[in-house]
Amino acid sequence: MSEKNKAIVQQAYSNFKTGNIEGLLSLLSDDVKWELPEIENVPFGGKRAGRPAVGEFFKIVSQSEEALSFEPRESIAEGDKVVSLGRYEWRVKANGRKFASDFAHVFTIRDGKIVAFNEFTDTAAASRAYRKAMTA
C-alpha cells in the first residue's frame, strides 16, 4: 500500500510540474482537505475543502507566482501517509522578487485518492517576497 500511495503522490507532482492541473485534481477525493499555513501578504494560504476549492488554489498560485524550481527529493510512506521533503524556488509575478525554501508535504491517501494535504514551509521568506514596496 505504501508504494502505491507514493506513486499517487509522484503522479500528482508530475501533473503539477507539467501544468496538468486537471490531472492533479483527478487524484483528489471530492471532499479533500487542503491546508497551507496562513502567510501574511500571500493570497493563497490557509485551509480549503473540496476539489473545486483546490482548483481555485492552483489558479491563484499560477496567477501569483512562477515556479523557478520544484524538487521533491525524498518520500517516506507508512500506512495512509506520504511525507515528501524537497525544495522549491518561486518568483512573485507582481514584483519579480524570488524566494526559496525547503518544504515538507504531508499527504493522506485513502482508496487511491488524496484526501488531505498539509504543507510546511518557510512562511517568513514567502511573506517578505510578497510584501509590497514601502513608499515614503
pLDDT 10s digits, 5-36? 999 999 999 999 999 999 999 999 999 999 99
Give the pLDDT band (50/70/90) at residue 136. Answer: very low
| pLDDT for 7 | 97
Neighbours of 109 (CB within 10 A): 24
pLDDT at 134 over 70: no
> What structural domains and CATH numbers belong to the chain?
2-130 (3.10.450.50)
Q: Which of 50, 55, 42 is nearest to 121 (CA)?
A: 42
User: The whole model's pTM is what?
Assistant: 0.92
**Angle CA 67–27–11, to nearest 5:** 55
Percent with pLDDT over 70 in the chain: 96
The mean per-residue pLDDT over the stretch 109-134 comes to 92
| pLDDT for 133 | 55
pLDDT 10s digits, 39-90? 999 999 999 999 999 999 999 999 999 999 999 999 999 999 999 999 999 9
Q: How far is C-alpha 47 from the chain's CA centre?
A: 12
